Amino acid sequence: MTSAYNVSVTNCDIQDFNEVIKAYQGSFGDTIPFENTTVKNCSNGIVLAANLRGDYNAEMVTINNCEFSNVQSNVIHFFRDGCDESTISDVLTITNSTFTDCGEDEKSDILIKTRGIINAYIENTTFKYNPVEFIVIL
């Protein structure tokens, strides 16, 4: 990893992209908030899952008052493998948001993938017409 970065996405309209965010091996976002943002008609959403060897790509990811619509796969894929007690641990918080018609091409059949994430909070969020078997597996 080179150095940590922060990304803040606020009051945005994101449409027709292949990926909204895609983390690569060695990248690390300390804080990644999405606020008051619409993500629609994208092939992939937020992909923070670059490595399967114990590394992870973000510390705190917050989705607040956002609308995800017609995101085909990897709507939110926040992955951490292994455990390392030297880190604070990762946190995913989703509040006041809506997920509609997402996951059409999701092979895992899970809308929000959180494998290995220690803290996941979902509050006041609506899930409608998502053709997956699971919203999240913790």
Q: Tokens at residue 81, please?
A: 């493998």
Quick one: pLDDT at residue 83? Answer: 56
**Angle, vertex CA 47, rays to CA 95 and CA 85, nearest 5:** 80
Within a domain: 65: yes
Cβ–Cβ < 8 Å for 37, 10 = yes
Q: What are the DSSP calls for the chain, one per residue?
A: ----B---EES-EEES-S-SEE--TT--EEEEEEES-EEEEEEEEEEE---SSS-BSEEEEEEES-EEEEEEEEEEEE-B-S--TTS---EEEEES-EEES--TT-TTSEEEE-TT-SEEEEES-EEES--SSEEE--
Range of the domain at 57: 9-136
Structural domain contains residue 1: no
Amino acid 119: pLDDT: 85
Q: What is the pLDDT of residue 56?
A: 60
Would residue 102 count as lying in a domain?
Answer: yes
Is residue 111 included in any domain, yes or no?
Answer: yes
pLDDT in tens, the chain (138 residues): 456 778 899 999 999 999 998 877 766 667 889 999 999 999 999 988 765 554 566 667 899 999 999 999 999 988 766 555 555 567 899 999 999 999 999 999 999 998 877 888 999 999 999 999 999 987
* pLDDT at residue 84 in the model: 55
Residue 3 lies in a domain: no
Number of separate domains in the chain? 1
Whether 47 maps to a domain, the answer reads: yes
Between β-strands 98-100 and 119-123, what pairing exists: parallel, antiparallel or unpaired? unpaired
Asked if residue 4 is part of any domain, the answer here is: no
- The answer as to whether 87 is a domain residue is yes
